[in-house]
Amino acid sequence: MQKIRNFTVLPSLPQSLKALRTIAHNMFWCWNPEFAELFRQIDHDRWHACGHNPVKLLGTVSQSRLNDLAAKQGFIYQLTQAEEKLQHYLNSPGWFDKVWTRESRPVIAYFSLEFGIHESLPIYSGGLGILAGDHLKSASDLNLPLVGVGLLYQKGYFRQYLNADGWQQERYEDNDFFNMPVELVKKKSGKPLTIKLTFPQRQLAAQIWQVTVGRVKLFLLDTNVAANSPQDRLITSGLYSGGSEMRIQQEILIGIGGYKALLAMGLEPSVCHMNEGHAAFMALERIRHMCTMKNLSFDEALEATKLSNVFTIHTPVKAGNDEFTPELVSKYFGSYFPKLGLNKDQFLALGRIDPDKDSETFKMPVLAIQTSAYRNGVSKLHGKVSRAMWADLWPKLPTSEVPIQSITNGTHAKSFTSPELISLFERYLGVNWDEEISDEDLWDCADQIPDEELWRIHQRCKENLVSFVRKQLKNQLQRRGTYHTELGWAEEVLDPEALTIGFARRFATYKRGNLLLKDAERFVKLLNRTEMPVQIIYAGKAHPNDEQGKEIIRQLIHFAARNDVRRRLIFLEDYNIDIARYLVQGVDVWLNNPRPPMEASGTSGMKAAMNGALNVSTLDGWWCEGYTLNGGWVIGAGETYDDYDYQDKVESETIFNLFENEIVPLFYTRSADNLPRAWIHRMKNSIKYIAPRFNTHRMVAEYAGRFYKPAAQTWLDFEKSGMEKAKDISLWKNRIKEQWDNIKVDDVDVQIRNGKGTVPLSSNNGSSLEVGCELQISANVRLGTLEANDVSVQIYHGIVDSWGNIDHGSVKKMEDTEQKGNTHIFTGTIKCTRSGKCGFAIRVIPKHTELDEIYEPGLITWESTNGDGK
Render pLDDT for 692-727 as a digit per residue (tens, 0 to 9).
999 999 999 999 999 999 999 999 999 999 999 999
Q: Report pLDDT for 759.
A: 74
Residues in the chain: 870
Output the CA–CA distances (angstroms, integers) from residue 318 to 225, 255, 482, 595, in the order listed.
34, 21, 40, 15
**Number of neighbouring beta carbons within 10 Å of residue 731:** 14
Across residues 225-236, what is the average pLDDT?
A: 97
Q: Flag whether pLDDT at 290 surpasses 70.
A: yes
- Top-confidence residue, 768 or 233: 233
Listed residue (831, 828, 823, 861) closest to 747, CA to CA: 823
Query: Residue 765 has what pLDDT?
Result: 45
- Dihedral of CA 730/732/735/736: which sign? negative
Weakest mean pLDDT among 144-153, 220-229, 475-484, 581-590: 475-484
Q: Tens digit of pLDDT for each residue in 339-378?
A: 999 999 999 999 999 999 999 999 999 999 999 999 999 9
What mean pLDDT comes out for the span 452-457?
98
Strand order in the sheet with 815-820: 757-760, 744-754, 774-782, 823-831, 815-820
Say what the pLDDT of residue 763 is: 46
Confidence of residue 869 (pLDDT cuts 50, 70, 90): very low
What DSSP designation does 826 have?
A: E
pLDDT score for 319: 65
Side-chain-side CA neighbours of 533 within 13 Å: the count stands at 15
> How confident is the model at residue 547, as a pLDDT?
96
pLDDT at 484: 65
- How far apart CA 69 and CA 41 sit, in angstroms, is 9
Phi/psi at 576 (5° precision): -150, -175
- Per-residue CA distances from 30 to 41, 52, 697 (Å): 15, 9, 17
Name the nearest CA neighbour of 434 among 26, 25, 24, 31. Answer: 31
Cβ distance 741 to 867 under 8 Å?
A: no
**For residue 767, what pLDDT band results from cuts at 50, 70 and 90?**
low
Cβ-contact 519, 654 below 8 angstroms: no
Question: Kind and range of the H or E element at 775?
Answer: strand 774-782
Q: Tens of pLDDT along 379-435?
A: 999 999 999 999 999 999 999 999 999 999 999 999 999 999 999 999 999 999 999
pLDDT confidence of residue 742: 93
DSSP letter at 158 equals P
**E strand spans, 330-432:** 362-363, 374-377, 405-406
Percent of the chain with pLDDT over 70: 96
Give the pLDDT of residue 651: 97
Q: What is residue 525's DSSP assignment?
A: H
> 8 — phi, psi (to 5°)?
-110, 130
Confidence grade of residue 155 (pLDDT, cut at 50, 70, 90) = very high
- Which of 158, 151, 101 is closest to 543 using CA atoms? 158
The predicted structure's pLDDT at residue 1: 57
Checking if the pLDDT of 796 tops 70, the result is yes
User: In whole angstroms, what is the distance from residue 418 CA to residue 425 CA?
Assistant: 11
DSSP state of 150: E
From the list 775, 736, 515, 538, the residue with the least C-alpha distance to 645 is: 515
Half-sphere exposure of 577 (CA within 13 A, CB side): 29
The 10s digit of each residue's pLDDT in 597-639 is 999 999 999 999 999 999 999 999 999 999 999 999 999 988 8
Q: Report the candidate in 53, 50, 48 with the shortest Cα–Cα distance to residue 24.
A: 53
Q: Tell me what pLDDT residue 850 has.
A: 83
Percent of the chain beyond pLDDT 90?
87
Please name the amino acid found at residue 805: N
The per-residue pLDDT for 10 is: 60
Lowest-confidence region among 2-16, 172-186, 406-420: 2-16
Long-range CB contacts for residues 749-758, cutoff 8 Å, separation at least 24: 749/777, 749/778, 749/779, 750/775, 750/776, 750/777, 751/775, 751/776, 751/777, 752/776
pLDDT of residue 764: 47
Average pLDDT, the chain: 94
Give how far the C-alpha of residue 563 lies from the chain's centroid of Cα atoms, to the nearest Å: 40
Average pLDDT over residues 821-848: 91
pLDDT of residue 856: 87
What pTM did the predictor assign? 0.95
